[in-house]
């Protein structure tokens, strides 16, 4: 399967239109209004929240691009949908000819794919996007690119190699694992594209902002195996699949990894600040996370189980089960233990600070999964089957 945008990259079913159809759609892009914003990967998790937020603005002219749009609400004012892949012939040339700002959300951002489909991951996060960077530089288009906190690698290290608590955009060294640990293909590809973007900014006048998200979560995240996707989704959907089907919650390597979770609404709010502050954000790499929500995956599992049982009190209390990373994800996988963002730059440039706790985030996330999947899981034996990698 060829890598597309964020939606099919996470394992959901999709269909790809031919290049001719994609080019036909491009001819209908909006030509009036300012700014004209093209969002690549608009049908995925982040895009399905960002596009409606931008559409609320008076005079909005949004070009939403993806290969599937089942997560994006219909009928949004000022939004033109273009069903296409960035690999379609002539597409990037056409989109950069019309847009004033390009927001790139595209990637295969699912850890289960990094060591199982590494070449596709590298292409989706680097090879396919280099032409976009070049065109934005040549045509003086502003590029807002979503990278990843994974570029920091195994742990937070200062430039001299000493450990530090937080991952800082301008001071932390980027320390990835050895080549045979293919889990780092995603981080390496994202880091190299950051360096390409930086070089075009410094030497060829590209106007850019690079965003490093830290574990953004919220409604419409990922898929449920057997319902609208196959394989292993990210941790929230994996836990919800287990809760919906009465299975154990599997903790990879005991769930000792710690993550700093950020709610998608607050993340989108920060992105809107970046759109509105081109001068302050020009040439900047910015962490977007919530350093106050640093919790272990084991703690996340317990809190998710509690939030689920609060809404379904008759559900059985799930057990926690440990499995090694090699058993769950396959050979070549390893992980960073702690990821805590430095939030100083985001606070200074954006006047932005997230406030939601994990306890506030989980109830609406669980409610969303229940509304979208509970009846489908109950009525479809395939959805109740054990997902690959789950014991």
Token digits of residue 250: 């599997």
Q: Which has the closest alpha carbon to 203: 133, 145, 147?
A: 133
Q: What is the reported pLDDT for 289? A: 97
Residues 324 and 252: beta-carbon distance below 8 Å:
yes
Residue 195 token pair: 């360096």
Cα separation of 218 and 265, whole Å?
Answer: 8
- Is residue 236 domain-resident? yes
Q: Does position 26 have pLDDT exceeding 70, yes or no?
A: no
Residue 48 lies in a domain: no
Q: Residue 31 pLDDT > 60, yes or no?
A: no
Show the tokens assigned to 313.
């009190």
Tokens of 266: 């607050």
Q: Which residues of 300-331 are buried (b: 16+ CB within 10 A; e: fewer)?
A: bbbbbbebbbeeeeeeeebeeebbebeebbbe
241 to 140, 183, 251: CA distances (angstroms): 45, 23, 14
Separation between Cα atoms, residue 166 and residue 169, nearest integer Å: 10
C-alpha span between 126 and 124 (Å, rounded): 6
Let me know if residue 333 belongs to a domain.
yes
At 377, the pLDDT band (50, 70, 90 cuts) reads: confident
Largest CA distance in the chain: 62
* Distance from C-alpha of 52 to C-alpha of 43, rounded to nearest angstrom: 11
Mean pLDDT of 13-34: 42
Distance of CA 76 to the CA centre of its chain: 22
Please tell me the least confidently modeled range out of 23-27, 132-136, 330-334, 372-376.
23-27
Residues 288, 214: Cα–Cα separation, whole Å: 6
Mean per-residue pLDDT, 181-205: 97
341 lies in a domain?
Answer: yes
Statement: residue 390 has pLDDT above 70: no
**pLDDT tier at 107, thresholds 50, 70, 90:** confident
- Whether residue 368 is contained in a domain is answered as yes
CATH number of the domain at 249, please. 3.40.50.720
Pairing of strands 79-83, 61-66: parallel
Output the CA torsion sign for 275, 82, 196, 154.
Answer: positive
- Mean pLDDT calculated for residue range 344-365: 97
Q: Does 137 reside within a domain?
A: yes
Q: Give me the count of residues in the chain.
A: 391
**Does the residue 30 lie in any domain?**
no
pLDDT band of residue 153 (cuts 50, 70, 90) is very high
pLDDT of residue 379: 61
Asked whether the beta carbons of 192 and 267 are under 8 A apart, the reply is no
pLDDT at 225: 87
Task: Specify the residue for token string 């931008």.
Answer: 54
297-323 mean pLDDT = 95
186 is catalytic: yes
Segments forming the whole domain that contains residue 282:
107-379
Tokens read off for 327:
């058993």
Tell whether the model's pLDDT for residue 358 goes beyond 80. Answer: yes
Q: In whole angstroms, give the CA distance from residue 148 to residue 142.
A: 19
The number of domains in the chain is: 1
Q: Is the pLDDT of residue 104 over 70?
A: yes
Pairing between strand 258-260 and 294-296? antiparallel
CA distance 44 to 71: 7
- Point out the catalytic residue in the list 126, 186, 333, 369: 186
With respect to residue 19, please indicate whether it lies within any of the assigned structural domains.
Answer: no
DSSP state of 251: E
């Amino acid at each position: 399967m060829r890598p597309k945008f964020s939606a099919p990259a996470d394992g959901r079913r999709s269909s790809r239109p031919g290049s001719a159809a994609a080019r036909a759609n491009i001819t209908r892009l909006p030509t009036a209004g300012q700014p004209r914003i093209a969002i690549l990967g608009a049908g995925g998790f982040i895009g399905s929240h960002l596009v409606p937020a931008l559409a609320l603005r008076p005079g909005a002219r949004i070009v939403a691009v993806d290969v599937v749009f089942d997560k994006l609400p219909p009928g949004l004012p000022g939004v033109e949908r273009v069903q296409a892949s960035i690999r379609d012939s002539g597409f990037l040339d056409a989109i950069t000819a019309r847009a004033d700002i390009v927001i790139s959300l595209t990637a295969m951002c699912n850890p289960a794919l990094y060591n199982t489909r590494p070449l596709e991951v590298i292409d989706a996060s680097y090879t396919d996007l280099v032409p976009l960077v070049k065109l934005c530089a040549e045509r003086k288009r502003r590029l807002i690119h979503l990278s990843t906190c994974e570029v920091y690698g195994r742990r937070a290290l200062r430039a001299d190699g000493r450990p530090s608590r937080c991952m800082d955009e301008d001071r932390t060294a980027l320390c990835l694992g050895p080549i045979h640990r293919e889990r780092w293909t995603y981080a390496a590809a994202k880091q190299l594209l950051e360096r390409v973007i930086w070089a075009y900014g410094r030497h060829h006048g590209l106007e850019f902002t690079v965003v490093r998200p830290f574990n953004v979560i919220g409604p419409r995240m990922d898929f449920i195996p057997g319902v609208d996707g196959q394989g292993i989704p990210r941790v929230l959907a994996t836990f919800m699949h287990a809760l919906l089907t009465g299975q154990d919650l599997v903790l990879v390597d005991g769930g000792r990894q710690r993550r700093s979770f950020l709610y998608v609404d607050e993340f989108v709010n920060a992105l809107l600040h970046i759109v509105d502050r081109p001068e302050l954000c020009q040439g900047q790499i910015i962490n977007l996370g919530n350093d106050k929500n640093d919790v272990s995956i084991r703690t996340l599992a317990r809190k998710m189980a509690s939030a689920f049982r609060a809404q379904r009190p008759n559900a059985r209390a799930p057990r926690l089960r440990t499995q090694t990373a090699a058993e769950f994800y396959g050979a070549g996988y390893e992980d960073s233990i702690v990821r805590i963002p430095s939030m100083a730059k985001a606070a200074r440039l954006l006047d932005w600070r997230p406030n939601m706790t994990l306890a506030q985030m989980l109830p609406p996330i669980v409610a969303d999964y229940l509304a979208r999947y509970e009846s489908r899981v109950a009525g479809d034996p395939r959805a109740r089957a054990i997902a690959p990698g789950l014991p």
